[in-house]
Structures are given as structure tokens and as C-alpha cells.
A and B are shown apart, each in its own frame.
Chain A
Amino acid sequence: MAFYVVQFLTGLASAASLFLVASGLSIIFGVTRIVNFAHGAFYMIGAYIAFTLTERFSGAFGFWGGVLVAALAVALIGVLVEMVLLRRIYHAPELFQLLGTFGLTLMVEDLVVLIWGPDDLVGRRAPGFKGAVDFFGQNIPSYDLFLIALGPVVLGILWLLFQRTRWGVLVRAATQDRDMVAALGVNQKWLFTSVFAVGVFLAALGGALQIPRDAVHHAMDLRIIVEVFVVVVIGGLGSIIGAFVAAVLVSELNAFGILIFPKISIILVFLVMAVVLIVRPWGLFGKPEAPARKTPGLTVNPWRPLTSNERLAALAALVIAATLPLFAGNYALTVGSEIAIFVIFAVSLHFLMSVGGLASFGHAAYFGLGAYGVAFLAKMAGLPMIVCLLLGPLLGCMGAAVFGFFAVQLSGVYFAMLTLAFAQIVWSIAFQWVSVTGGDNGILSIWPEKWAASPSHFYWLALGVAALVTIALRIAVFSPFGYALRATRDSVLRSEAVGINAKRIQWTAFVIAGTTAGIGGALFAYLKGSVFPDNLGISLSVDALVMVLLGGVETVSGGVIGAIVYKALNIWLVSQTDLSKLVLGGFIVLIVVVFPKGIVGMLELLAQRRRKSSPPGSSLLAKPIESTE
């Protein structure tokens, strides 16, 4: 019995840090609508700076002062980030801020290694809380007791801050209607900056307080950010009490999951999150969001099929790409194949995001399922390659059909989080079901047959499939189905009012996107000759998101360009520098600031300007932008 109580208390102690970080994320999202991916990075910097300060300055004052100063210093960094980066992109397309903060995270990961080195750093114990308390023969670290008490205290302080101060009232008002707050004379800029500072302070404090419990290392950002997303979604975005309850829930699930369900301990929290989202999509303490009031005039540039000239240009580009084997070596061809495969992957997500308005955070699940599908068919059933390539993606299709059915019941951030949860579940199955999937060792030696084995042949295969997939999806965009899907994206209510079954249309789109991703995964399995759980992992899902956003969500061909640029740059950077993450992150941040509409969006804007400037003085109505000369 005593053992369980201790386990429970350990869970509560872990919850404290988690709550601090999650409440910060929740507050920032509530007001700025930014899903701050860099929140984990701020948590990590908080831990590193606190480590340095507490090592340098001794005594109780040195420790507690160091923790506090570290959190304040990181809050200051947060202010800088908000003013330099985020302020420029508040009006960018949804999720673009996610890309910017993701770029920051990449940069921070390399920077902390540069500054503090790659090794784990073990910090010193907290003065006054070095010992342990005896509880019926079980030891409870007294620092844990301190953390257990800290959680509710912080909750209370935050509650007072939001309920009892003018700042809190303004923040709560801005959470609901930002424009109206500005129309009452409140300077949103500083309100946003201060909210961001408070949120980052909480994240950094959470990190700094971890040092007596855990070693500081350069991967702690990703580990916490996923957990924090889960907490915030279960608790309800924007709800601080929700963040508290969910942090306790998640920590206890982690503490007891290992004891009770060791086999599925990793996915337990994701299962709970999926159930919560399906039953109460807005989280335990959140409020259902009113259908978003869309700012008119966001899609200035209506889509159209390519003109015949543009078709010729696209064809020419494809032909040029097809001549690569004539002059390039094997390495370049393998890279080319990989890029082609990622074009398929990115195009499929782009279809879901830009046409369907559904931003999946777990799209790699279907890519990876396609890869595993091929692996099962080739290794276990021993089927020929063509058959495997045709049937393998069906596993992605089935996964998308099952998960998509639940996911499309939600929208926006909640949709994104549920897809993330599903992807994590699939990943954990691949990771833990060793007898079938080989677990972490993956499934090896899945090589293409002779006809596709040479790098040039495989390259042509990948390129051909990528071209076909892109064309097929483009046709879908301009088909009646595509128009219906775009209608549900623009307004679910209105599209249902004209007789469109919105959920079914979205579900279909989800399955199409998942199957297409599966095709990419199937080819990927043959390219690499192996399948690993990482092929379904979060980082691959994030890669896909970055590619789409980089190319431009509000465009039709953003996925293709984004995949080529991102993947090529990524592969090249890794071969050129040890600081590839720093450079890549910097590049992403730069793109976000300079071209907030993505690469293709920027090109379209330039083309428009040229077209618009030619007939001077014509009014906009007389000459619609989409008209072609």
C-alpha cells in the first residue's frame, strides 16, 4: 500500500513541472492563438541557464535565486522573440506561427549543444530539500513534497492574476475577441508581449525546477512538448484549471501505467487523450469554440487549373528532372528518389491542409503504415514488388479510414491533436509489438526487384509515381469533390446548408490523403531497404508540416516546391555542417518573416504585382486578380 502512495506522490511531483509548462502554453494560445512549438525549447533553456547559475552561485540564495533569475532571463528572451519574430506573423495563415516557432526550436537544440556541450548535466540538489521523508518504510524525496505543494500555489497565484487584476481582465477579454479589445483602446501589442512573457516565464520555471530531479540534456524540449500538448488538449485549451487537472492526470497515468499496463504504458496517455477528444472535443475544462468568424478577403487569389503554357512548363520541368540519371551519380539519384518520395508525402498532406483545411499533426502515421504494409507483404507473404507497391499503401488507407472517421468529427487545433495522438498510438504499436514489427530494430532487407534495383531505375519509378500522384490530386482539387471539400473548408455550416455531407467529404479527403501518403511510404521502404518505427514518428509528421507550410498553404502547388526545397536543403546541410539544425532553423525563421505566404505564395504575389502594374489606374473590381492575359 505504502508503495502505491509513494508512486502516487511521485506522479504529483512530476505534475508540478508539467503544469507550469502547460499553463504557459495554454495562456499564450488563448490570447495570441499561436501554438507555440518553441515552448519546450524555452523550458529547456530555463533548465540550462538555471544549471549554470546554480553551479556558479552557492548556498540557498544561489540556488533559489538562480532558478528565479533563469526563468526571468528566459522570459526576456521570450519577449525578444515575440517582438522580433511573432509580431510580424500574427496575421499570417493559421499554423504558420507553428512553423516559425518550430524553426526556433531547431535553432535552440543546436545552440544549447554549442554552449553547454552534448553531455547530460546533473545539477545540484535543492538546499533545504536534500533529504527524504520516511513513509512506512518507503522514501519520499522532500523536494518532491516541495513540488507537490508548489503546483496548487502557482495555480492560486495565476487565478488571482487573471481574476483580480486589470491585466487579467484584459487578457481574458482578448482571449475571446482581440479586435474588440483594440477597439476599446487597449494596445494589443504590449498585451501580447506581456502574455508571451508570462507564458515563457512559466515554461522556464518548470524547466529550472526540474534540475534537482533530472539531468539537463538537449533533447528534453521535444520530450516535454508532446506531453504538454497532450495536457493542454485534455484540460482544454486556454483553461488553467484544466491544465492543472490534466497535468495531474497525465503524470499519474505515467506513474501507474508502467505498473498496471506495462505493455501499453507509452500510449496510455494518448489513448486517454483520444477518448477525451472524442467524448469532449474541447477538453475537460475548455469551452466549445464558436464557429470561427472568418476575416473576409483572406483568399485573395482564387485557384484555377493551370493554363496550357503553365502545363507545358510543368511538363518541361518533369522532363528535365527525368534526365537526371544521364549526368548524375548514384548518390544524387538516391537523394533525388528520396525527394520525389517526400513530394508525394508533402503533396498528400498539402491536399488535406489547403483543400480540406484540416491540418494533421500525425500524417507520418499513414506514410509509415504504407511502409510497414510493404514490409509485411514482401517479408512475410513474399509477394512480388509490383503487388507490394500496389497493396502496401492499403494499410495506410485502412489506418486513415479508421482514425479519420474520428478525427474529422473535430476541427482546428483539436483535429491536429487527435491526429497526433493516433500517430503516437501507431508508433507505439510499431515500437512495442516486437514479435510482429521487430520493434526498434525494424524490418530489414526489403530490396527492390532487379527491374527497379538500379538507382536510375528507382529514381524514374519514384519520379513517375510522384508526377502521377500530383496530377491526380490536382484533378481532384478541381473536380466536384474538390469544390465540395473547399466549401466545407470555408464554412462547414454553409456547405451543409446547401446539402453537402461535410463530415463524409472530409473523411473521404482524409482517406485519400492517407492512402497517398501510404504510396510514398511504400516507395520509401524499398528505397531504404528497411522499415523502422521512426517512419511513423512525430518528427516525420513535423517534417511534412514544415514542407507544406514552407511551400505555402494557400497555394495549389506549395507541397511540391516545399518538399523539394526543404528536403534538398536538409540533406545538403547535414552533409555540409554539424550545425545543420541551426542553419535550417534559421532558414525557416527567415522564410517565415520574409515570405509569410510560403515560397509559392510569394512567387504568386510577385506575379500578381507585375500583372496589376501593367494597366495603370484600373480599379480592382474592373479587373479581377485571377484574370489571365
Chain B
Amino acid sequence: MKLTVQDLNSHYGPAHILFDIGFEVGEGEVVALLGRNGAGKSTTFRSIVGLVAQRTGRIMFEGKDVSACPTHEIVREGLGYVPEERRIFTDLTVEENLEVGRQPKRPNAPYWTREKLFTLFPNLGEMKGRPGGRMSGGEQQMLTIARTLMGNPSLVLLDEPSEGLSPKIVEQMVDAILTMKKEGVSIVVSEQNLHFARLISDRAYIIERGRICFGGTMAELDARPDIRDAHLSL
């Protein structure tokens, strides 16, 4: 297994947010983490990379227990994280944003150069010197993904990549994610949009009120409209 999460519990102050979250991601797999707003998707990701201080449980990445490691060490192991709110550095140019994400080449992961990323996201190549603050939402979203790929991760946590994007950009996003998969990057993608998830994922987990309440292939999920309706539709 690429990534195994077991008994993950997280708190914000006195509030218990995640309850015994557990899931697995195989080598080269794209796994969707589905759930409504506030179900705990982003907290799950933030907990995995160590950005939530109060958390317990085991996080095995490539056979190593990383649950006690600080954020930057987890990321340096090759576990990339693309946050939900984009969080690009608005004062920095596109190239400088990419520079912040740059990490050395890793033997078991695809190697991304600026040029390669500019082929994956042609828009970015046309605005290398533009400050992040003067980019559209879709361009910013591409930049966050490209920035994380500069760290040559073998697995990426993608938090709601389609949120707030126009259909045309969403299409580009699907292509980009499929290219990443083809290169050999394992991906966990959190989504509210089942349609988007279906286009890219091999398997899916559903999270509701901080608990995993379904896990299976996309076909298995389609076979259970009751679950889909109970936990996903608006």
C-alpha cells in the first residue's frame, strides 16, 4: 500500500472532528474522498500532513509511520498536499511560487521540471513573471498543483480541485490529473462533485460527519444509489 490511514482522530480545541478515519491508497491509484461541505474532507487531508495539531492515529506512507513527523518531513517523504483555498503566494511570481515547492529528485517518483509543468499547464507558461495575486481562480488552482508537483511527490492529496472553476477549466483539470496518474503519481482527491470524481477515480470513500461510511470501487458505488443519495446528493 502507498498510504494507509488508521484510526485517525482529530480535534479543533474541544471539538472532535474526525472519528476513527481509516482508508488505503494503492500504488498508482486515484482514490476519491467524497462528502458534503463540512463532512471532514479537508480536515482529513490537513491531519495527514500534520497541519492539525491535535490528532491521533497511524499514518503509514510507503511503509513508514509518519504520524509523529512534522509537516515538512512528511512532505519531503514524497507526500504532496494541494490545499483547498489555493493559498498561492500572491506577492510571488509564478516562477517564484514554483521555486518554493522545489525539492530534489526522488527515485520512486516522476521528476517534474518547470518546462514539463508548463506543458501540463500551458496557461502558466505564458505568465511566468506574473504575481500570483493577479491570476484568475482557475490559473491559481493550476499553480497550486504545479507548485506541489515541483516537490516530485509520489502521492498527492488534492483538496477539491474542481471547486469554483468554470466547466472548461474543470476539463483541463481532469486532463491534468489523468496525466499525473499516467506518470505514476498516486492521488487522493476530495470532492463534492461525483461526476468529476467518476472521471478520474478508481475507488471512492464517502465521509460523513467525520466518519468513513463507505469504501469501494466506483462501480460498487454506482450499484448503491441509496448510499449515494443519503450521503452525497444535496
Contacts and interface: CB of A to CB of B under 8 A. Distances in A.
Q: Are A and B bound to each other?
A: yes
Interface of A: 166, 169-170, 172-173, 175-177, 179-188, 287, 296-300, 619-621, 624-625
B75 interface: yes
Nearest to A185: B75
A272 B162 CA distance: 49
A173 B16 contact: no
**Residue with the highest number of chain B CB atoms closer than 10 Å, among A173, A177, A179, A181:** A173
Contacts of A172: 89, 91-92, 96
Interface string B156-195: 0000000000000000000000000000000000000000
A300 B102 CA distance: 37
Contact of B16 (A177, A180, A185, A620): A620
Which 7 residue pairs are nearest across A and B when measured between Cβ atoms? A297-B13, A185-B75, A297-B12, A182-B71, A296-B12, A173-B100, A185-B76
Place the interface of chain B in its size category: 20 to 34
B83 A300 contact: no
A180 B75 contact: no
Given A175-B91, A182-B72, A621-B14, 9 more contacts: A173-B89, A184-B100, A184-B148, A188-B72, A287-B91, A619-B16, A620-B11, A620-B16, A621-B16
Majority secondary structure, B binding face? mixed
B205 interface: no
A534 to B, nearest CB: 42
B105 interface: no
B12 to A, nearest CB: 4
Q: Which of B51, B75, B83, B89 has the most CB of A within 10 A?
A: B89
B12 A169 contact: no
Give the interface centre of A180, A182, A185, A297 by most chain B CB atoms within 10 Å. Answer: A185
16 contacts: A173-B100, A176-B92, A177-B87, A179-B71, A181-B100, A183-B49, A183-B75, A184-B75, A184-B151, A187-B72, A296-B15, A297-B15, A297-B54, A621-B14, A621-B15, A624-B14
Contacts of A183: 49, 51, 71-72, 75, 81, 83
Nearest to A624: B14
A373 B183 CA distance: 77
Contacts of A186: 72, 100
A180 B12 contact: no
B125 interface: no
Interface in B178-216: none
B55 interface: no
Contact of B151 (A170, A185, A624): A185
A297 B102 CA distance: 32
A624 B11 CA distance: 13
B83 A169 contact: no
Contact of B89 (A176, A188, A624, A625): A176
A166 B97 CA distance: 11
B38 interface: no
Contacts of A300: 13-14
A621 B90 CA distance: 38
Contacts of B103: 185
A179 B51 CA distance: 7
B174 to A, nearest CB: 24
Contacts of B16: 619-621
B72 A176 contact: no
Contacts of A166: 99, 102
A621 B147 CA distance: 38
Nearest to A188: B72
B87 A180 contact: yes
A384 B83 CA distance: 67
B11 A169 contact: no
Nearest to B153: A185
Given A182-B72, A624-B14, A177 B151 contact: no
B70 interface: yes
Contacts of B49: 183
Contacts of A624: 14
A169 B131 CA distance: 13
Contacts of B100: 169-170, 173, 181, 184, 186
